[in-house]
Amino acid sequence: MPLTAVPDLIETARPGGLGAFNVITLEHAEAIAAAAESTHKPVVLQLSENTVNYHGGIAPLALACLHIAAESRAAVAVHLDHATTFELISTAVDLGIQSVMYDGSTLDYANNVTATAAIARWCHDRDVHIEAELGEVGGKDGAHALGVRTDPDEAAEFVTATGIDALAVAVGSSHAMHTRTAELDNDLISRLAASVPVPLVLHGSSGVPDKGLRAAVDHGMRKINIATRLNVLMTAAIGTTLADNPTLSDPREYLGPARSAIQSEVERFLRLLA
């Protein structure tokens, strides 16, 4: 199936939420795409700036994701997540990625608006979908804690001033949580959905229990980003396999079960969010 645009997938997923899952290894991408096919649900493969830095560049994994998406029988998009530089965004777009998130959330409000608006104009000139963040979501590089919240009026003003296509908001989640104990502010989600004229994005979703994710979608969240939860299950599957088979040396023997664990969890999330 041809590569699908993120805005189209958001509409396809309505009234449910669009599952967007971060890719760190090729096994992640294969498992996520396989889950989309088995559930007949749209999905987004996301590459973060941290993953790009880990691999020493974006091209190999991005091109693999683009190929997997194009060959999939499901509707799949590829998205650059948490990019903090124009250079990385430009490189991603040159490779064929048509959806990016510019993360200026560590900047003060005025500088975040200025930088985001400039990148949004550049993206729209190239028909690239752009997401941004307001109200820094905690958990990354010493960022703010769970108490940070996005103001609905400021969010609406930010979208108008920048021209972005989707907005990541702080409503109680936090990145890199290993426990699923975050409590979202559903009243705030509803007020943001009523105030903001573009789709809302939930980051840090791995720390939110199933009931909370379902409620977030019901109150207006449109794109749900999940990363850490998949990594936790992948690592656990590898650990179990190696503990049961301590003489294994072929990575395929332990990465295969890890890939299956990721696929099963993505399938579960896609059904939950539908």
d(CA 185, CA 170): 9
List 8, 81, 187, 210, catalytic entry: 81
CA angle in degrees (0–180, nearest 5) for 183-184-186: 135
- DSSP annotation of 174: B
| 181-185 long-range contacts, CB within 8 A, separation 24+ | 181/207, 181/209, 182/146, 182/207, 182/208, 182/209, 182/212, 183/212, 184/208, 184/212, 184/215, 184/216, 185/149
The amino acid at 119: I
Task: Provide DSSP, 131-158.
Answer: EEEESPPBSSTT---TT----HHHHHHH
| 81: annotated active-site residue | yes
Which residues are known catalytic residues?
81
